[in-house]
Amino acid sequence: MSIQSKILMKKAFRYKVRFQKMQVQQIEHVDNNYTGGQHEKDTSYCNGGTIASKYTAEGLAPQISADELLEYIPEAREFCTIDTVQPFALDSTNVCADHWLKLARLIESKYEFYDGFVLCHGTDTMAYTAAALSYLIQNNRRPIVITGAQKPIDLAITDARSNLLDSLRFASHDRAHGISIVFGGKVIAGTRAKKEFSKSYNAFSSINYPDIASIHDQKIIFYIDDKDQSTKPLVFYHEMNQKIFLLKLIPGIDGKVLDALFPSYSGLIIESFGVGGLPHYENDNFIDAIAHWIEAGKPVCMATQVTHEGSDMEVYQVGKVIKERFPVLESYDMTLEASVTKMMWALGQTRDMEKFKELFYTTINHDLLFL
């Protein structure tokens, strides 16, 4: 079936895609005919990252523009019409909340003119960006896809071309929606992605949640096809509080470190051992410090250093006594990237702790299953 998409591609990309309805099988939602059809309009945004980098005397650095990226995948023009924007060119190590807010505003300004968006991004903080955009842009029925690569696109052997083509195909599909990462043939919810391999092409995994879809031989197989269930109105948010600190516990850590952090931060996430708890080293340093944060109206959230299955503070005494004494939050099955960016987003909307708790425990883009 022919489908023409218009997509805007940012080095992060955006595409405008005008879709005809396609036949989609209902069991696995395999679109056997769809390989990208006639042109929808998409936008592509390029922000930099390995995919757009070249080797220099000082190492890899972003040097390839969004338009140049498209020269490596001329076949994309067969199924989508692409406009490009390059808001910045950065190693993703340098990406922060200011960039997430800028991307969200840029997409908001172009949203009505395109049917899909693809953002090219470095892999190191891609999961943070995908989660952050999931909170800043909610209930979007037009897909916003984030992708990148482990090798630059100008190399003979690279994952960049396949990842970019897969992203454009997915952004051009009429069942695609929400915020997602497309990488290594997987489509992962933006709040569930984690980079688990530093060099391998299968760098990203979906944590505590199934993949949204997979892409093989130009065909998209949907495992979760829930676009028709998305009935809430589109919302763009414009504020985040970046003053969040993530503290990773190690054996013997002194709770007084929390006192040193207190003046500079508005919220705290403690990455604890196992299912969650605080150590007690013959003193009450952690107890006293937590009390100080809570009394000041600064949220404290307990997360876990374990990647899979999440936290449950009520299992062991070291967690249960803390939860019974203080109104600390838990990440439960949320990823660390989602927990951090969700706290930034929620604190950007309110400082009232009850309203904050309600926002933090609201499921957004599949980020939270268990409470």
The whole-angstrom separation of Cα 44 and Cα 14 is: 3
Beta-bridged to residue 46, according to DSSP, are 11, 120
Give the C-alpha separation, 93 to 162, whole Å: 23
Quote helix, strand, coil % in the chain, to nearest 5: 30, 25, 45
363 is catalytic: no
Find the catalytic residue in 35, 43, 50, 341.
50
Instruction: Return d(Cα 306, Cα 149) in angstroms, integer.
Output: 26
Distance between CA atoms of residues 135 and 151, nearest Å: 29
Do the Cβ atoms of 191 and 365 come closer than 8 Å? yes
For 242-303, give the DSSP string: --EEEEE--TT--TTHHHHHGGG-SEEEEEESTT------SS-HHHHHHHHHHHTT--EEEE
Residue 324: how many CB atoms within 10 A of its CB? Answer: 9
Burial 191-229 (b: 16+ CB within 10 A, else e): bbbbbeeeeebebbbbbbbebbbbbeeeebbbeebeeee
Q: Which residues are known to be catalytic?
A: 50
